[in-house]
Chain A
């Protein structure tokens, strides 16, 4: 499936031995690249690399890419609020934070990503989206395709098939958008919901929209056909010769330094540590088996830079002595807001406490860990 992604159209694929050949070819003021990788971190790193290293004052670049199942959150979003991290862990779907703004999206191999690179002066999202809408109208004229004021692309006036985000840096810009060809919509419903209850945050929120795939309305539209149409439309809109080049975003020779960009994007510090400060306030339901009894407790946490900055666990003193709930709260301070880290921090506490309170303490620990997504 990977191999078929590199569509070779009228142009001939040349072997690029260095990025200077690739990006400074005077015969092409524009370039269409297709990534060979389906790894979100490699692809995001390639975007960063192009933005940082290619002189976009004289040329434009279109990068086409797709990822294995991933959830991608915007620059200033809260991953715990935006997606179901426990479900994603089970399904081995990673979360990635991109550098552009905007909301959360689900990527899989049925979703095409397009990144339009240009100078800041030439930054024009509407013009870019016109490439997509014109391409779609050309290959399937019967489809009702419109770009909105928010720069979404809607099908039949109500279903979102594309969302947009962008980044402006020193001299350059990139605008990227998704395009739903044949993505797994049931995964979207399951994965794009909060990890845990009670999150209060001023992180940028997502705006949920009903989505649809192009193939739900034009079943005969092949992936290669879609790519070809977009490449041709880009070339005609920007006055270029129609051809595209396949690139390997992990190729350090072609893109020196891309490996460390990828490592940063993949790391906990960028993905979770960059989360705007937030608080969690939720009720915990506690249980004991022998004798059967129940009780409610209050949890209040502040999370800064992805770590527990403050924690209060209010358990009725009749259920557990205050000293125990207080030491539990204390044990979480400074730990990553993460169920595994919480479980490890609390297990030391549990080991110290035997006797009749142990089962209640254990239950409180389990419920606390579960509240951390």
Chain B
């Protein structure tokens, strides 16, 4: 069920509107999210973009040109239910890793958001003000939450890659 959900998310998300990824990076990010057994490769397109990394709080980070885009995973958006409001930090706000930086409100609860990394917020997804449901419909693309600088790249290295995150989710479901 999780795989079908991931594939569904994939087909909705990886439209040409995926922000700022070169097509080669898009293909390899695609491969990463597709659990059809294709070899998982990290992007090596001129060091521009890295693979999706995940936190234990089910946030993902995608880095391009030193800026990390942050969102929540499909597992998280399914657990949340329909998002009715996205409380996000301010542009310019400085965050330490694990700082509370906002909340996503759904019919289930107000769920705290935790910063996956240390850095400064450079952008927030203003589409979510009118359309908070994007977090459910397109959690890996149009439903992104914030962009931030990456002050400590070693924090990024310690996050889970796709296979590790898949394993992590499996362990939760047991």
Q: Which residues of A contact B (CB under 8 A)?
A: 74-76, 99-101, 123, 165-170, 173, 175, 202-204, 276-277, 305
Segment from B3-11, B25-33, B110-118, B160-168 that makes contact with A: B110-118
Q: Give the number of chain B interface residues (Cβ < 8 Å).
A: 17
Segment from B15-23, B40-48, B101-109, B137-145 that makes contact with A: B101-109
Judge whether B110 and A101 touch: CB under 8 Å.
yes
> Which residues from A are CB-within-8-Å of B112?
167-170
Check: B84 CB closer than 8 A to any chain A CB: yes
Measured CB to CB, the closest approach of chain A to B124, in angstroms, equals 12
Judge whether B109 and A173 touch: CB under 8 Å.
yes
Among A76, A123, A277, contact of B105 (Cβ-Cβ < 8 Å): A76
Among B57, B109, B114, contact of A101 (Cβ-Cβ < 8 Å): B109
Interface string of B92-136 (1 = CB under 8 A from A): 000000001001011011111010000000000000011000000
Judge whether B108 and A204 touch: CB under 8 Å.
no
Judge whether B130 and A202 touch: CB under 8 Å.
yes
Q: Which chain B residue has the least Cβ–Cβ distance from A305?
A: B90
Which of A100, A166, A202, A305 gathers the greatest number of chain B CB atoms within 10 Å? A202
Q: Which residues of B contact A (CB under 8 A)?
A: 57, 84-85, 87, 90, 100, 103, 105-106, 108-112, 114, 129-130
> Which residues from B are CB-within-8-Å of A305?
90
- Give the distance in Å from the alpha carbon of A175 to the alpha carbon of B109 in the complex: 8
Measured CB to CB, the closest approach of chain A to B133, in angstroms, equals 12
Q: Which chain B residue has the least Cβ–Cβ distance from A175?
A: B109
Question: Could you jot down 7 A-B contacts, CB within 8 Å?
Answer: A75-B87, A101-B109, A101-B110, A166-B109, A168-B108, A170-B114, A305-B90
Contact A167:B130 (CB < 8 A) given known A75-B103, A76-B87: no
Measured CB to CB, the closest approach of chain B to A152, in angstroms, equals 13
- Give the distance in Å from the alpha carbon of A202 to the alpha carbon of B87 in the complex: 11
Measured CB to CB, the closest approach of chain B to A306, in angstroms, equals 13
- Give the distance in Å from the alpha carbon of A342 to the alpha carbon of B51 in the complex: 51
Measured CB to CB, the closest approach of chain A to B58, in angstroms, equals 11
Which of B84, B105, B114 gathers the greatest number of chain A CB atoms within 10 Å? B105
Q: Which chain A residue has the least Cβ–Cβ distance from B84?
A: A204
> Which residues from A are CB-within-8-Å of B109?
100-101, 123, 165-168, 173, 175
Among B85, B108, B130, contact of A76 (Cβ-Cβ < 8 Å): B85
- Give the distance in Å from the alpha carbon of A269 to the alpha carbon of B111 in the complex: 20
Judge whether A204 and B114 touch: CB under 8 Å.
no
- Give the distance in Å from the alpha carbon of A102 to the alpha carbon of B5 in the complex: 28
Judge whether A76 and B57 touch: CB under 8 Å.
no
Judge whether B57 and A202 touch: CB under 8 Å.
no
> Which residues from A are CB-within-8-Å of B108?
166, 168
- Give the distance in Å from the alpha carbon of A267 to the alpha carbon of B87 in the complex: 19
Shortest 5 CB-CB distances between A and B: which pairs?
A: A101-B110, A166-B109, A101-B105, A168-B111, A76-B85
Q: Which chain A residue has the least Cβ–Cβ distance from B106?
A: A101
> Which residues from B are CB-within-8-Å of A165?
109-110
Measured CB to CB, the closest approach of chain B to A117, in angstroms, equals 13
Contact A99:B114 (CB < 8 A) given known A75-B103, A76-B105, A204-B85: no
Q: Which chain A residue has the least Cβ–Cβ distance from B109?
A: A166
Judge whether B105 and A75 touch: CB under 8 Å.
yes
Measured CB to CB, the closest approach of chain B to A366, in angstroms, equals 33
Contact A202:B111 (CB < 8 A) given known A101-B105, A170-B57: no
- Give the distance in Å from the alpha carbon of A74 to the alpha carbon of B103 in the complex: 12
Q: Which chain A residue has the least Cβ–Cβ distance from B114?
A: A170
Among A100, A123, A203, A276, contact of B110 (Cβ-Cβ < 8 Å): A100
